[in-house]
């Protein structure tokens, strides 16, 4: 039920990173649910994490271990969230198991979990799975890791790129899992980007934050922020360039994370439409973002998008609810692709229902709102609210 989601292609190996996966039977039998990332000595790690107050124990442990690191241990099927002190101890024990298998310190391992909230990890199976993943390490493991992280995702999502920096070639591969409970706040569900760029921990952290701001912080599926969101960047340094080249790296990596963010929306739970909401003419970027999210979150707008109904009334209701002070309805215009639906706060004289319906019948289109109040603009990507969203979430235990 994904929208225009091309199959994941070949993912490039990143010098300095090896990955192994295993099937630990955490929630389902016979499917990979553990991914272990081995990072070369000296690898810098930055990351951004969920702002949910109920942030899960592995998030708290991982956030405390940014800087230099030697491994990530990731599992799906169980989020190890709302599990208290025992959850913290379990997350640390997973790291210790990975450290024992890899021969590094337990403090050099960052844990990540996604899946059911409120249940304890099956630690015997976790330890066994981590040991087996360590025995399967391979530079070619990125695609398998993308598959091992999946929960309600219909497809694994990953992308690779190489680009020149200061006369050398930098390689990067990034993977993401996420389909529902998606309105990231500083990060998305779980996303990992590995690159062989050479960066300090501080520069890696700045890069992670800047990339999240341009990608995962611009999307919403259902407005719910997970307890386990994390986006982590690992820079191995094997390419020998990067320090002092942060602008070039940001420019080279941004297309990867934007592509991954859009893929997350395309694979949104029950999605039948992929919609780009552009808001321009705002007095501030925050105003634009508020309006874009108010439109992208409204159940009434999302059901109208599902129905392919160019319902100006619901859009104007949502814009009016965005909490933008001083919003003047009489200056607001709305386009669906290049069809002018409303201007001056009212249906445009030139507008025909047939023209609006033709745009909304497409799988992908743009909603462009101008607030007529200033020079700022923002963009958010979203999906629709379909019968399948309800079915999936009524059947699936998050």
Residues marked as catalytic: 188
At 263 the three-state DSSP class reads helix
Residue 342 CB, nearest distance to a copy of itself (Å)?
Answer: 7
When the beta carbons of 70 and 289 are compared against a copy of itself, the nearer one is 289
Residues 339, 370 contacting (CB under 8 angstroms)? no
Q: Which of 8, 91, 145, 181 binds a copy of itself (CB under 8 A)?
A: 181
Q: Which of 344, 362, 363, 364 binds a copy of itself (CB under 8 A)?
A: 344
Residues 300, 310 contacting (CB under 8 angstroms)? no
Q: Which residues pair with 65 in a beta bridge?
A: none
Is 219 a residue that touches a copy of itself (CB under 8 A)?
no
Q: Which of 77, 143, 156, 180 binds a copy of itself (CB under 8 A)?
A: 180
Is 306 a residue that touches a copy of itself (CB under 8 A)?
yes
Is 287 a residue that touches a copy of itself (CB under 8 A)?
no
Number of neighbours of residue 26 by Cβ within 10 angstroms = 22
Cα–Cα distances (Å) from 11 to 175, 193, 230, 252, 260, in that order, read 9, 12, 21, 16, 13
Q: Which of 98, 319, 360, 367 binds a copy of itself (CB under 8 A)?
A: 319
At 30 the three-state DSSP class reads coil
Residue 45 CB, nearest distance to a copy of itself (Å)?
Answer: 25
Is 42 a residue that touches a copy of itself (CB under 8 A)?
no
Give the whole-angstrom CA distance, residue 196 versus residue 17.
9
Q: Where are the beta strands (DSSP E) in the chain?
A: 17-22, 34-39, 44-49, 67-68, 71-75, 109-113, 157-165, 168-177, 190-195, 219-220, 230-235, 274-282, 333-336, 339-343, 346-347, 364-370, 376-383
Q: Is 186 left (phi over 0), alpha (psi -120 to 50) or beta?
A: left
Residues 302, 393 contacting (CB under 8 angstroms)? no
Q: Which of 320, 358, 366, 374 binds a copy of itself (CB under 8 A)?
A: 320
In the range 70-99, which residues lie near a copy of itself by CB under 8 A?
79, 81-84
Q: Which stretch binds a copy of itself (CB under 8 A): 153-161, 298-306, 360-368, 373-381?
A: 298-306
Give the number of residues in contact with a copy of itself, rule: CB under 8 A.
Answer: 61
Q: Which of 131, 130, 135, 116 is nearest to 76 (CA)?
A: 116
Name the phi and psi angles at 145, rounded to 5: -65, -45
Residue 243 CB, nearest distance to a copy of itself (Å)?
Answer: 37
Q: Which of 312, 367, 380, 383 binds a copy of itself (CB under 8 A)?
A: 312
When the beta carbons of 358 and 392 are compared against a copy of itself, the nearer one is 392
Letters for 129-168 (x = contact with a copy of itself by CB under 8 A, - = none) are: ----------------------------------------
**Kind of pairing, strands 67-68 and 44-49?**
antiparallel
Q: Which of 140, 313, 350, 375 binds a copy of itself (CB under 8 A)?
A: 313
Q: Which of 25, 223, 255, 374 binds a copy of itself (CB under 8 A)?
A: 223
> What is the gyration radius of the CA atoms in the chain, in angstroms?
22
Is 300 a residue that touches a copy of itself (CB under 8 A)?
yes
Residue 313 CB, nearest distance to a copy of itself (Å)?
Answer: 2
Residue 192 CB, nearest distance to a copy of itself (Å)?
Answer: 22
Residues 1, 265 contacting (CB under 8 angstroms)? no
- The binding site for a copy of itself (CB under 8 A) comprises 52-55, 79, 81-84, 116-119, 180-181, 222-227, 297-300, 303-304, 306-307, 309, 311-314, 316-322, 324, 327, 329-330, 342, 344-347, 385-387, 389-391, 393-395, 397-398
């Amino acid at each position: 039920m994904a929208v225009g989601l091309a199959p994941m292609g070949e993912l490039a190996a990143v010098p300095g990173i090896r990955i192994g996966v295993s099937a630990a039977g955490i929630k389902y039998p016979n499917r990979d649910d553990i991914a272990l990332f081995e990072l070369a000595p000296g690898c810098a790690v930055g990351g951004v994490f969920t702002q949910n107050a109920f942030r899960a124990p592995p998030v708290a442990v991982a956030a405390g271990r940014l800087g230099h690191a030697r491994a990530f241990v990731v599992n799906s099927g169980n989020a190890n969230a709302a599990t208290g002190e025992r959850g913290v101890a379990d997350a640390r024990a997973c790291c210790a198991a990975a450290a024992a298998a890899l021969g590094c310190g337990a403090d050099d391992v960052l844990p990540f979990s996604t899946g059911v909230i409120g249940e304890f990890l099956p630690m015997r199976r976790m330890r066994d799975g981590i040991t087996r993943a360590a025995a399967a390490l391979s530079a070619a493991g990125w695609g398998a890791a993308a598959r091992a992280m999946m929960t309600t995702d219909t497809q694994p999502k990953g992308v690779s790129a190489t680009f020149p920096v200061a006369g050398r070639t930098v390689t990067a591969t990034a993977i993401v899992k996420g389909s529902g409970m998606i309105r990231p706040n500083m990060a998305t569900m779980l996303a990992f980007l590995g690159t062989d760029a050479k960066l300090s921990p501080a520069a890696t952290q700045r890069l992670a934050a800047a990339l999240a701001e341009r990608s995962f912080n611009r999307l919403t599926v259902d407005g719910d922020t997970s307890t386990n969101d994390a986006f982590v960047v690992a820079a191995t340094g094997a390419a020998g360039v990067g320090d002092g080249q942060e602008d070039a790296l940001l420019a080279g990596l941004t297309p990867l994370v934007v592509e991954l963010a859009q893929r997350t929306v395309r694979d949104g739970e029950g999605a039948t439409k992929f919609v780009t909401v552009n808001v321009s003419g705002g007095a501030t970027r925050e105003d634009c973002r508020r309006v874009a999210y108010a439109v992208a979150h409204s159940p009434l707008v999302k059901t109208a998008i599902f129905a392919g109904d160019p319902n100006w009334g619901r859009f104007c209701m949502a814009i009016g609810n965005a909490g933008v002070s001083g919003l003047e309805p009489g200056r607001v215009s709305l386009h669906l692709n290049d069809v002018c639906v409303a201007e001056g706060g009212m249906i445009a004289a030139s507008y025909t229902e047939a023209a609006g319906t033709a745009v909304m019948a497409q799988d992908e289109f743009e909603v462009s709102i101008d607030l007529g109040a200033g020079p700022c603009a923002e963009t958010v990507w979203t999906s629709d609210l379909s019968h399948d969203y309800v079915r999936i979430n009524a059947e699936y235990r998050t």
